[in-house]
Amino acid sequence: MNGLTLHERPAPPASWRVALPHSTAAVPVARALVRSALTEGEHGADCDTAELLTAELVANAVEHTAGPAPIELVVRLGPTGCQVEVHDPDPEPPGDLAHAADEVPDVWQEGGRGLLLIRALSSSCGHRPTESGKAVWFRLPAVPPQRRPGPAE
């Protein structure tokens, strides 16, 4: 043994890969899947932020890609946090994920905030080509567990 007890041992990495319909119905399904994945294990990433950023990625994939091909959600969990990827059939890269997070979107436009949120709230983000299109991803670090006061405190 390496000196860790069963209770101290970090949770093993886990991953999920789920095909979603190419429709707006995929957004709440993706949010629920990410929340379920993050609350099921001991991986500790912030569920609310992961849900929000996942919804942005899935909504962008639905809005900016054509055709009926499904969108794929990939969630990877490990002791240091999580990575969420959304795969779509369009090989064109998303809007520039490298812009500075302090850019302000046009307040009169309905869109334009999704990538800003992803850049601002994730520890890292990006995109890469895949055999069938592209994957857009973000990472969130594990959040230390909060200490809960006991009955005597």
pLDDT of residue 5: 47
On whether residue 153 sits in a domain, the answer given is no
3 state SS of 24: coil
Residue 145 has pLDDT above 70, yes or no: no
pLDDT of residue 6: 46
On whether residue 147 sits in a domain, the answer given is no
3 state SS of 133: strand
Angle at 37 between CA 65 and CA 69, to 5 degrees: 20
Q: What is the pTM of this model?
A: 0.79
3-state percent helix, strand, coil for the chain, nearest multiple of 5: 25, 25, 45
CATH number for 29 = 3.30.565.10
Phi first, then psi, for residue 81 (nearest 5°) are 140, -150
pLDDT of residue 4: 45
Q: Nearest to residue 49, comparing CAs of 88, 19, 84?
A: 84
pLDDT tens digits for range 3-54: 444 455 555 568 889 999 999 999 999 999 999 988 876 667 889 999 999 9
Mean of pLDDT over the chain: 82
**Distance, CA of 31 to CA of 128 (rounded, Å):** 22
On whether residue 146 sits in a domain, the answer given is no
On whether residue 6 sits in a domain, the answer given is no
Distance linking the first and last C-alpha atoms of the chain: 36
pLDDT of residue 60: 92
pLDDT of residue 58: 96
pLDDT of residue 115: 82
pLDDT of residue 12: 57
**Distance, CA of 146 to CA of 153 (rounded, Å):** 15
> What is the tally of structural domains in the chain?
1
pLDDT of residue 144: 73
Q: What six digits make up the tokens of 38?
A: 């993050």
The whole domain housing 63 covers 14-141
